[in-house]
Structure 1
Amino acid sequence: MTKLSVNINKIATLRNSRGGNTPNLLQVAKDIQQFGAQGITIHPRPDERHIRYQDARDLKPIVYTEYNIEGNPQHNFIELVLECKPTQVTLVPDAIGALTSNAGWDTIKHKDYLTEVIQEFNRNGIRTAIFVDADEKMVEGAKATGADRIELYTESFAHQYGLGNKAGIGPFVKAALKANELNIGINAGHDLSLDNIKFFKENIPNLLEVSIGHALISESLYLGLDNVVNMYLQKLK
């Protein structure tokens, strides 16, 4: 079964919009795990507009499933990850001020940099994943850095699927087959939803984990968090 890691950034956004501690981020993380999700994902950004660096620290004793911290491996982020020692760190090439993640790494151009960062995380027992586009060469580049996994950036698939173009899965299948050939694990995330997750899962061989936040939280406004988490789990079987 593919594991579901729930990104709780949007919970932090809602909390921050009013100040105070409602909704309670830590309680939400506890509840999501109790409902059956196998992981919690956060993506702190330098401006702390949703997840704050202190949230990452506070979540450490709360998350008893897989703890995944995403972000651009700048100095402060690296220090935070080494302090928190999550299960997994996912390296994402966010530009400062970017609204959301919008591209994968050029793993060939940035090979030396990524290799150095990954070696540091590996020395500290932290599993590493690199956010990449559905490009076989980028998968090969990720393998060359020593990363444990890739995370496929799935926005283009979700967009094409929403237009009724199921052929948009093609590059992702090729990238996954290349990852399987190279023995590097496969995660995926960005714009995956209840509408498209089953199709994606059925077509990506050996998909280990999906990280879903914006869609899942939005759907939960209508359907209820407990219900949505378990609906995802059924679709991922």
Structure 2
Amino acid sequence: GELLCVGSNPHKYFIIWLDLYDNSTYGALVFSEEESPVKFLISDLSSKKAVISWADSLFVIVYQTEDGKIRASRFDNKGVDIDNEDLYIASGKTSGGIDIAFCDEGGIIVWNQNGIQCARLSKEFKLLGRTGFTSFPLTKKNGWRPKICYGDGVFFLVYSTGDLYGERVRFDGTIIDQPSILLCQDPGYVTANSFNIAFDGEQFLIVFRDDRYGNREGDITLIKFDQQENIEFETISK
């Protein structure tokens, strides 16, 4: 099979993969080395993009199937799909990946479809609406693999247009940073496909491969960004 993504909560791992034999999308819950994984069907359609988040004691899966539709599902700790049917989010040709983050009010899903798009989900797993989501004038070739994270009362969206940008957004869709904040200028094309973000309780952390100085191998670099808009760089590995 083809591994799509891995997620976890404090006790279990959740794995999603594409079965190349029957071209369907499967998931599995892995409890421990002593217990056998629980395998189940997510969709009888193939998927190329998927992301997992842990929210409100449930695993939330967002994935795009071969028909171009982005869907979301919720699974409990035993791998049981708790909804009668998947929640339809959007459809159309996308580039890059999909990401999701949650706060107490609900979640925000982001993806690139001729610019960064978003969908907001309520705590009750209802679609609140879809909209364009960034103040930067994106083109079809820009906004690769948007990533989103929640911390300290705001969502933080990071995306690459050749440069690496970030902007803080409230759950209601209000963009705090207009224009977007330039985090790193021209870090190299590879950054478009190889960065991740997290929140450590005080600041947002962005890890990426830095090709700014002509090093084709690239240094693994950490950006620290806080609510006072301080930006600090740290080289993790050369």
> Same fold, TM exceeding 0.5?
no
TM-score after normalising by structure 1: 0.30
Greater relative CO, 1 or 2 (CA 8 Å, sep 6+):
1
Query: Which has the greater radius of gyration?
Result: 2
In terms of fraction of residues, the more strand-rich structure is 2
TM score, norm. by length of structure 2: 0.30
